[in-house]
Chains A and B, each alone.
Chain A
Amino acid sequence: MSDDELIWRIAGGSGDGIDSTSQNFAKALMRSGLDVFTHRHYPSRIRGGHTYVEIRAAAHEVQSRGDGYNFLLALGDSFARNPQEEAYYGNEELKPLSENLDELREGGVIVYDEGLFDDEDLEEIGLEERAEENDWHVYPVDLRSIAKEHGREVMRNTAGVGVTAALLGMDLGHIEDLMEDAMSGEIFETNLEILHEAHEMVEEEFDLGHDLRIPEGEHETEQALLSGSNAIAYGAIDAGCRFIAGYPMTPWTDVFTILSQNFPDMGGISEQVEDEIAAAALAVGASHAGVKAMSGSSGGGFALMSEPLGLAEMTETPLVLVESMRAGPSTGMPTKPEQSDLEFVLYTSQADSQRVVFAPGNIEEAYEQTRLAFEIAWDYQIPAIIIYDQKLSGENKNVDVEFFDREPAPDLGSTLTEEELKEAAHDASGKFKRFNYEAAEDGVAPRSLPGQKGGRYLATGNEHSPVGHISEDPDNRTFQMERRLEKLEAIRADLDDRESNQTYYGPQKAEYGIITWGSSQGAVAEAIDRLNDDGHSVRGISVSDMMPFPSDELEEFVESVDEAMVVEMNATGQFRGLLQKELGRYGEKLTSLLKFNGNPFEPAEIVEGYEVNVAEEAREPTAQVRIEPAAGD
């Protein structure tokens, strides 16, 4: 746990403006030269309910939320109050302070909104004793009054930021700039006054007893603060996607919203439709007609897409779907992350269906693999799925701006032009042999688009002949099935020829391994660094190719270590199951570290899991994670 980092937590009521305040503050930290990473915790309620956002900032790279935090800004939950009488509903109003104390690090700083709590409240949560025990530095400030005096009570966020800056010795310049971008006129002026008054008040009234100060850092290139959903949306845009259909469901809604907002300006089409069956079917229809199209959902909505997904596979309609996981089963925990839809996404839809599945583990990978998903889908005429989760979807991280400076790739892959169609094979009645197994390379039979001259054929979800007529001829069936299956092998070979989508951590040779996938990557990466710093010998791999699976690469990795631990956020070890299925052995080498309480892994939990699990230290792991022994144990 390094001391040279700030992990700032702002807590309050859902709907209190926590989001926008933290977004701006994170940007200010990024602009001051620091690497930032945000983590959002919120309940499944629209207004009210305790919520927080954490921003981790350091002069070094940050890849996860970190362990615990060291600065709490506790606002009141204004929706816990009766607006007329300022009466409390139970002790809801206290929660931004009381609910957040367990994870505050020793020596940490607390700022709370003094106007909200009386001595009795504070006694109830034992603030004084706990502060003494943990060497916390507590600064009560009447944020509400400052805000009210100058403008409106909601502006207490700004007062809180002013206090934060003063306590951390942070220059107000970047904060002011960002406020100016976000607002104007009187509102801007008032906020500016509040910011300064809060800042000055700290300087006048408090002797700062804490050591925490803003770390100093510098970026060599321009940085952008982006979420995983932004990255997926931008990957789609650069891949030439211009059609999206969807039905809202958290957290998939983020990608849907970003593209809906951008498409009008770039000649794309977004459709919000009646349900997820329709959404995926629209994407199939648009792709069939010649547009790069996508749809997506979260678990329950994705369940409804099973039918159109199979249709896309059988008709060889290219398509990208995104599946943004949240805790389940059923409606589960809508705002909590989990990595538990893997098996579902791999096998959704009946029969020997085939699709490509990528699971990006960080924001850059989300962009990269979305682009790749479109490329593979259109080259091989197969649906590609991006599976990620609520954590990656909502977390923000700074990324080098140059990273996104790629040429757009609107290529329709294996789609023929009218000129090319003239040369293609036709049957005696002049129909284009769309599903021609003789001419297929790597299983791919080039396609035509409706409206093109000389390209007429029938696409059907039934088994079909080369021109698309329904056919139950056994020979044709065998040829068509084998041709479609061939594509997946070709895709694996194609991916193997490129830079690997898997990401490695730690030394090339080590005694122990940690294997993970998706958004657990960042916490695993940090844990591996710490373990190696502590004298252990650990290397890690974060796997993104879920189908077709990179068996050779994983075999090499597992062979290279004595034992390995598979880290994932679900209760049944789904990825470990996939590994064992794909590799066909090594069951005895693998153990699992599982977490499924709705919160993502913190690096310390992985370190601890490793110590108990792999290094066999005799102690009980924390209650929040579960250890699954190796097969045969």
Chain B
Amino acid sequence: MSAFNAIGEQREIDRDEFTPGVEPQPTWCPGCGDFGVLKALKQALPEVGKTPEEVLTVTGIGCSGKLNSYLDTYGFHTIHGRSLPVARAAKLANPELEVIAAGGDGDGYGIGGNHFIHTARENHDMTYIVFNNEIFGLTKGQTSPTSPKGHKSKTQPSGSAKSPLRPLSTSLNAGASYIARTAAVNPNQAKEIIKEAIEHDGFAHIDFLTQCPTWNKDARQYVPYVDVQDSEDYDFDISDRREAAEMMHEAEDVLNEGTVLTGRFYVDEDRPSYTEEKQAVGEMPDQPLAERYFDDDAEWERSYDLLERHT
């Protein structure tokens, strides 16, 4: 695969370029679903023609948050729940960056839930991958917002009284324009979905089912696994909000019964991204703001120019 890099040179890129050469080696547990995301990303990025330097991955805190330690792009490993506000500002400052945000279900749907809703609502042009293992991994197995009702953990010893959050429907209601679910156990689908999400012009949310064999031992490995696009049992219009909503509800209902419905649930190609909306109302420059500082010819307005209204 060959591509043009940021300064217009053509060069060969492959997945190895996205692997840090010296260290560190992933510290995830054997059998962890997080490996699946890393692998799918390393495959997808060269296939969509990105060089490591054009990509900024922004992660939160958790096992999932380590993603960009093991993926060689520009990276920002932020704090618990805050990957999205950091990511979307980077995209606003430099729309030429390919921004991919990632984190866990505790990180993204719990502590960062407010940011998730508003980033989806604004439809920022970025990809957001949530490693959904239905558990807090890094802090050793507490109940997470997606753990099933009745789930027992050290902090909810009698079983959780809460119903799980429904990530797909929440995302749809909040305004994401691309919503899919995939799972680490199906690397091919995962790679294809990540490629589509990156190429999608708007907020692409992937609920990525990642098994945690260490703390969620009873949990399914997310099989049996059904791709709603491949199966003849499911026929719905992916661009129709209502039909998509129904499919999402079904997928969210049956997940707790052991059927794993995956695939693309909603794609809105027509909705302008936030950058486009902001440019349309005149709140955002056409050229990347970040470049202005390196442009010797840029004219910088002075406060002096604004004083007339005060005299």
A 455-474 contacts with B by CB, 8 A: 455-462, 468-470
A230 to B311, CA, bound (A): 13
A283 to B61, CA, bound (A): 19
Shortest beta-carbon distance, B1 to chain A, in Å? 19
Q: Is the CB of A262 within 8 A of B21?
A: no
Q: Is the CB of A288 within 8 A of B289?
A: no
Q: Is the CB of B86 within 8 A of A281?
A: yes
A 203-257 contacts with B by CB, 8 A: 222-226, 230, 234-235, 237-238, 240, 242-243, 245
Q: Is the CB of B92 within 8 A of A404?
A: no
How extensive is the interface on chain B, given as a class? Answer: 35 or more
- The yes or no answer to B29 lying at the interface (CB within 8 A) is no
A interface residues, how many (CB within 8 angstroms)? 82
- The yes or no answer to A565 lying at the interface (CB within 8 A) is no
Q: Is the CB of B310 within 8 A of A470?
A: no
Residues of B contacting A: mostly: mixed
Q: Is the CB of B74 within 8 A of A457?
A: yes
A458 to B92, CA, bound (A): 20
Please judge, given known A-B contacts A281-B85, A450-B56, A453-B53, whether A459 and B75 are in contact too, CB under 8 Å. yes
Please judge, given known A-B contacts A267-B285, A408-B302, A470-B69, whether A451 and B97 are in contact too, CB under 8 Å. yes
- The yes or no answer to B283 lying at the interface (CB within 8 A) is yes
B 50-95 contacts with A by CB, 8 A: 52-54, 56, 58, 61, 66, 68-69, 72-79, 82, 85-94
- The yes or no answer to B231 lying at the interface (CB within 8 A) is no
Q: Which residues of B contact A124 (CB under 8 A)?
A: none
Which residue of chain A is the closest to B54 with respect to CB atoms? A451
- The yes or no answer to B161 lying at the interface (CB within 8 A) is no
Shortest beta-carbon distance, B42 to chain A, in Å? 15
- The yes or no answer to B232 lying at the interface (CB within 8 A) is no
Q: Is the CB of B92 within 8 A of A273?
A: no
- The yes or no answer to A511 lying at the interface (CB within 8 A) is no
Q: Which residues of A contact B94 (CB under 8 A)?
A: 289-291, 449-451
Q: Which residues of A contact B24 (CB under 8 A)?
A: 469-470
Which residue of chain A is the closest to B75 with respect to CB atoms? A458
Please judge, given known A-B contacts A224-B307, A418-B7, whether A307 and B92 are in contact too, CB under 8 Å. no
A275 to B85, CA, bound (A): 10
- The yes or no answer to A520 lying at the interface (CB within 8 A) is no
- The yes or no answer to B115 lying at the interface (CB within 8 A) is yes
B 279-311 contacts with A by CB, 8 A: 282-285, 287, 289-294, 298, 300-304, 306-307, 310-311
Shortest beta-carbon distance, B6 to chain A, in Å? 6
Of B23, B88, B97, B278, which one neighbours A450 at CB under 8 angstroms? Answer: B97
Stretch from A323-331, A423-431, A553-561, A604-612 that touches the partner: A423-431
Q: Is the CB of A461 within 8 A of B77?
A: yes
Please judge, given known A-B contacts A242-B292, A461-B78, whether A282 and B89 are in contact too, CB under 8 Å. yes
Of B6, B68, B282, B292, which one neighbours A264 at CB under 8 angstroms? Answer: B282
Q: Is the CB of A243 within 8 A of B89?
A: yes
Shortest beta-carbon distance, B297 to chain A, in Å? 12
Which residue of chain B is the closest to A267 with respect to CB atoms? B285
Q: Is the CB of A428 within 8 A of B22?
A: yes
Q: Is the CB of B93 within 8 A of A417?
A: no
Q: Is the CB of A271 within 8 A of B92?
A: yes
Q: Is the CB of B300 within 8 A of A264?
A: no
Which residue of chain A is the closest to B94 with respect to CB atoms? A289
Shortest beta-carbon distance, B115 to chain A, in Å? 6
Q: Which residues of B contact A274 (CB under 8 A)?
A: 114-115, 117-118
A366 to B73, CA, bound (A): 40
Which residue of chain A is the closest to B57 with respect to CB atoms? A458
- The yes or no answer to B30 lying at the interface (CB within 8 A) is no
- The yes or no answer to A528 lying at the interface (CB within 8 A) is no
Q: Is the CB of B86 within 8 A of A282?
A: yes
- The yes or no answer to B5 lying at the interface (CB within 8 A) is yes
A262 to B311, CA, bound (A): 17
- The yes or no answer to A103 lying at the interface (CB within 8 A) is no
A 364-399 contacts with B by CB, 8 A: 367
A289 to B88, CA, bound (A): 10
Of B79, B90, B306, which one neighbours A262 at CB under 8 angstroms? Answer: B306
A310 to B79, CA, bound (A): 10
- The yes or no answer to A410 lying at the interface (CB within 8 A) is yes
- The yes or no answer to A357 lying at the interface (CB within 8 A) is no
- The yes or no answer to B20 lying at the interface (CB within 8 A) is yes
- 17 more CB-based (< 8 A) A-B contacts, given A281-B82, A307-B82, A457-B75: A224-B311, A240-B300, A264-B282, A267-B292, A269-B93, A269-B289, A271-B92, A278-B82, A281-B78, A281-B86, A283-B89, A286-B93, A291-B93, A410-B300, A428-B21, A453-B6, A459-B76
List 16 A–B pairs whose Cβ atoms lie within 8 Å, in order of A's numbering.
A224-B307, A234-B303, A264-B283, A267-B289, A269-B93, A278-B118, A282-B85, A282-B89, A285-B86, A285-B89, A289-B56, A289-B94, A290-B94, A307-B79, A449-B94, A451-B56
Chain A residues in the interface with B (C-beta under 8 A): 222-226, 230, 234-235, 237-238, 240, 242-243, 245, 262-271, 273-275, 277-279, 281-286, 288-293, 307-308, 310-311, 315, 367, 401, 404-408, 410-412, 415, 417-418, 427-431, 449-462, 468-470
Enumerate the 4 nearest inter-chain pairs by beta-carbon distance, A residue then B residue, closest first: A429-B21, A285-B89, A234-B303, A290-B290
